[in-house]
Amino acid sequence: MEARRKWIQLAVLAALIAVLPFFFPSGYYYRVGALIFVNGLSVIGLVILIGYAGQISLGHAGFAGIGAYACALGPQHLGLHPGLALILGAVISGLLALLIGRPILRLKGYYLAVATLGFGILVSMLLTNERALTGGPDGISVEDLGLRALLRDLGWRISGGEFWYGASGIALLVGAWLALNLFDSPTGRAMRSLHGSEVAASTVGIDVARQKLRAFVISAVYASVAGSLLALQNGFITPDVAGFMHSIEMVTMAVLGGVGSVLGATLGAAILTLLPQVLTVFAEYEQLVLGAVMILVMIFLPQGLLPSIARRLRGRGE
């Protein structure tokens, strides 16, 4: 039954990704779509951390920053292929999460929030201040992945927007698949049990610290890969990718859509990514609207959009 639900969710997601382009009024929307998918990917990582394991992080943009700058600096300084740089970034993020996760995850609630927040700020400060290496606050350009050129040589001509729409869409699908697998697995159950009661979890043999650490590392890798994809598709990156506001945006996307739900998180990512696009005409109102949305959703749909809607639909069906 669980397995069927997993494939339904993946099928819905895949269908949406495949069908949406038919409704795009212009090529520009491929860019927006790709951005949604990349944000969705990092937010799925947070679903694992916040939704499954019940741990908060206000510093996950730090890992996105590491992934992004790995793709910028790896090719430049180490002569790495950008694709390998993405993997290197993921490995660094994972190891770093492993290292700092152990002491940080002993903290609870607001203390955990401030510790993760501190970590994120430290990363973004390093990226901003180490001008010689990172180019400082003005950002740095990122080498092309080269995959599109390869496709062209094989006779398949697509625009940059189309390519990144497809590539990020596939990355999102893979990320969703892994997260859904995890949900209905021994590890996933162990993580989710922490959410319910850490004491009970430990008395049934679950190593609480270890499961938290796993969720933290996995979500860090998600954020890092998403950061790398963002850097690669933009061809340019600034330290803002690691900034406090980006961390907050990620958490808000997750909570907005429904923090326990992979599809919900993607929906949250879509809404918050589209919001500024929709509001471009009223750019001054963007913050006002964003703040109001955050408050209203938390008050009226505390489970997040998708689970609340699903619950309402189910309620009517019965």
Partner 1 sequence: MDALLQFIFSGVTVGAVYALVALGFTIIYNASDVVNFAQGEFVMLGGMITVFAHQAGLPLPLAALLAILATAAIGVALNKLAIEPARGAPVVSLIIITIGASILIRGAAQLIFDKQLHRFPAFSGDDPIRVMGATILPQSLWVIGGALVVFFGLWLFFTRTLTGKAVLATANNRVAAQLVGINTSWVMTLSFGLSAAIGALAGVLVTPITLVAYDVGVGLALKGFAAAMLGGMGNPKGALVGGLALGLLEAMTAGYLSSQYKDAVAFIVILAVLFVMPQGIFGKKSTERV
Partner 2 sequence: MSLLDVNGLGITFGGLKAVNDVSFSVQPGEIVSVIGPNGAGKTTLFNMISGVYQPGRGTVALDGRDVTGIAPNRLAEMGLSRTFQNLQVFQEMTVLENVLAGYHLQERGPVLADLLSLPSMRRRAARAREGARGLLARVRLDKAEGQEAGSLSYGALKRLEIARALALRPKILLLDEPAAGCNAVETEEIDALIAELAAAGIAILLVEHDMKMVMRISNHIVVLDHGEKIAEGDPATVSRDPGVIAAYLGAEETEAADADG
189 residue type, one letter:
R
134 binds partner 2 (CB under 8 A): no
283 binds partner 1 (CB under 8 A): no
Contact assessment for residue 105 and residue 113, using Cβ atoms and an 8 Å cutoff: no
Nearer to partner 1, 5 or 108 (CB): 108
Strand partners, 141: 236
137 binds partner 1 (CB under 8 A): no
Nearer to partner 2, 217 or 272 (CB): 217
Nearer to partner 1, 84 or 290 (CB): 290
Nearer to partner 2, 155 or 186 (CB): 186
Nearer to partner 1, 181 or 197 (CB): 197
Please choose, from the candidates 65, 87, 91, the residue with its C-alpha nearest in 3D space to the C-alpha of residue 230.
65
25 residue type, one letter:
P
260 binds partner 2 (CB under 8 A): yes
189 binds partner 2 (CB under 8 A): yes
207 binds partner 2 (CB under 8 A): yes
Phi, psi of 238, deg, nearest 5:
-120, 165
Centroid of chain to Cα 167: 15
**Nearest approach, Cβ of residue 232 and partner 1 (Å):** 28
Centroid of chain to Cα 117: 16
Residue 181 binds which entry of partner 2, partner 1, none, CB below 5-8 Å type-dependent? partner 2
287 binds partner 1 (CB under 8 A): yes
Phi, psi of 3, deg, nearest 5:
-60, -40
Binding test (CB under 8 A) with partner 2, winner from 204, 281, 283, 299? 204
Sequence-ordered list of residues with C-beta below 8 angstroms from that of 211, at least 6 positions apart, any chain: 53, 187, 190, 191, 194, 201
Contact assessment for residue 242 and residue 124, using Cβ atoms and an 8 Å cutoff: yes
What angle is formed at CA 153 by the lines to CA 152 and CA 156, rounded to 5 degrees? 35
230 binds partner 2 (CB under 8 A): no
Binding test (CB under 8 A) with partner 1, winner from 18, 156, 292, 311? 292
CA distance 217 to 94: 5
- Residue corresponding to tokens 């049990």: 193
Binding test (CB under 8 A) with partner 2, winner from 53, 206, 259, 269? 206
**Nearest approach, Cβ of residue 248 and partner 1 (Å):** 6
Which parts of 182-201 interact with partner 1 (CB under 8 A)? 199
> What is the chain's Cα-based Rg?
19
Residue 190 binds which entry of partner 1, partner 2, none, CB below 5-8 Å type-dependent? partner 2
Q: Are β-strands 140-141 and 236-237 bridged in parallel, bridged antiparallel, or unpaired?
A: antiparallel
CA distance 286 to 279: 6
CA distance 126 to 58: 17
Contact residues for partner 1, defined by CB under 8 A: 50, 56, 58, 103-104, 106-111, 113-115, 117-119, 121-122, 125-126, 129, 199, 244-245, 248, 251-252, 255, 259, 284-295, 298-299, 302
Contact residues for partner 2, defined by CB under 8 A: 1, 178, 181-182, 184-190, 192-193, 195-197, 199-208, 214, 218, 260
